[in-house]
Amino acid sequence: MKWDGLIHQYRDFLPDIKDEHIVTLNEGHTPLIKSEDLSQRLGLTVYLKYEGLNPTGSFKDRGMTMAISKAKEKGSQIVMCASTGNTSASAAAYSAKSGSMRCAVIIPDGNIALGKLAQAMIHKAKVIAIKGNFDDALNIVREITENYPVELVNSINPFRIEGQKTGAFEVCDMLGDAPQFHAIPVGNAGNITAYWKGYKEYKAAGKSQQLPQMLGFQAAGAAPIVLGKPVEKPETLATAIRIGNPASWKMAEAARDESGGLIDMVTDDEIIEAYKILASGTGVFVEPASAASVAGLFKLQKQGFFEQHKGANVVCTLTGHGLKDPNNAINNVEKPTVIDGDIKSVLKEIGL
């Protein structure tokens, strides 16, 4: 199958853009992996939309191809974003691919995973670390982009949401219809907004028959939507979703309410447990924030939420690759033992 990126694939559903302006790294078309292990544990049929396999290792590439293409069409020379890491990695890579745009990113100092920082820097973005959190960074970016000729590429940029909604299209194309439930981590709340928009548009176009219930999950230390008020000092080891005042708050609530779903929270311990189960039981390595969707399913299952829905199709968006954040993996497993380099010692160690 020929795949030239998601704009070419889903053009009929996306804002108009000429070929010459399209900036693509052939993002999208990520696998929808059936997890026998999770299906068995949860009594559901669980599919994992592994967005870590996008070109920069996260779902952000879906929105970024659209936003950067539109910036190129407009003749922008500089793009800018605030980021917990993945948006900055993606913006930096797509700016590099554009061949004409510079990229500046603002990140919360000390709270972004190493891999993401490496990405932004190697793609030659101007990386600015601030003493503050994501919400502070986003306020600065909003103000600058309102007053200077700089294009904002956070998910407040509507083209980001447009690109990201293609995740829902791919799920429907691969499953033959929308699932009954769609579980997704919630940070700045752009992605839950985008998926819901995608599901609605696909159904309206006759491409799918049903709509899923959207199940969003925030980290317990950064759960403003669940608590109903901004969190001034958000804290979670899932740094990607360490956000206290999401930009798409209202739209996430609309996705929740229109779909008859929910937005709940999971603790860091629950996130890490799900993170390890995904890696060891299904063979899929994600970053901690991504595991929030699976942690949420375990929480709901314990509460009996799925009692009436045995075997139902559930899709989890696994938003980012595990290699983005190797420190979290290493800190949560047993370190390898160092032994003498001879066959006898190795056989003993394996238990043979």
Q: Which residues bind ligand F0G (CB under 6 A)?
A: 58, 60, 83-87, 155, 185-191, 240-241, 287, 289-290, 319-320
Helix (H) or strand (E) holding 130: strand 126-130
Q: What is the dihedral of CA 251, 256, 257, 262, to 10 degrees?
A: -150
Q: Report, in Å, the least distance between residue 50 CB and ligand F0G.
A: 12
Q: Which is nearer to ligand F0G, 5 or 187 (CB)?
A: 187
**3-class DSSP string for 142-210:** HHHHHHCCCEECCCCCHHHHHHHCHHHHHHHHHHCCCCCEEEEECCCCHHHHHHHHHHHHHHHCCCCCC
Q: Which is nearer to ligand F0G, 76 or 83 (CB)?
A: 83
Helix (H) or strand (E) holding 242: none
Q: Report, in Å, the least distance between residue 197 CB and ligand F0G.
A: 12
- Residue from 284, 288, 274, 318 nearest 41 by CA: 274
Burial of 174 (0-12, 13-18, 19+ CB in 10 A): middle
Q: Could you tell me where the DSSP H helices lie in 278-333?
A: 288-302, 326-330
Determine the Cα–Cα distance for residues 61 and 253; give it in Å rounded to an integer. 24
State the DSSP code for 307.
G
Q: Report, in Å, the least distance between residue 254 CB and ligand F0G.
A: 14
Q: Report, in Å, the least distance between residue 155 CB and ligand F0G.
A: 6
Q: Which is nearer to ligand F0G, 45 or 104 (CB)?
A: 104
Q: Cβ–Cβ contacts within 10 Å for residue 225, how many? A: 24
Helix 60-74 to helix 86-98 angle, to the nearest 10 degrees?
40
Q: Which is nearer to ligand F0G, 152 or 186 (CB)?
A: 186
Q: Report, in Å, the least distance between residue 22 CB and ligand F0G.
A: 23
Q: Report, in Å, the least distance between residue 121 CB and ligand F0G.
A: 15
Specify the amino acid at residue 165. K
Determine the Cα–Cα distance for residues 94 and 88; give it in Å rounded to an integer. 10
Determine the Cα–Cα distance for residues 38 and 42; give it in Å rounded to an integer. 6
Q: Report, in Å, the least distance between residue 187 CB and ligand F0G.
A: 3
Q: Which is nearer to ligand F0G, 5 or 163 (CB)?
A: 163
Q: What is the rounded end-to-end Cα distance, in angstroms, of the chain?
A: 46
Q: Report, in Å, the least distance between residue 40 CB and ligand F0G.
A: 25
3-state DSSP assignment of residue 222: strand
Q: Which is nearer to ligand F0G, 47 or 135 (CB)?
A: 135
Q: Report, in Å, the least distance between residue 253 CB and ligand F0G.
A: 13
Q: Which is nearer to ligand F0G, 45 or 236 (CB)?
A: 236
Q: Which is nearer to ligand F0G, 46 or 82 (CB)?
A: 82
Q: Which is nearer to ligand F0G, 127 or 186 (CB)?
A: 186
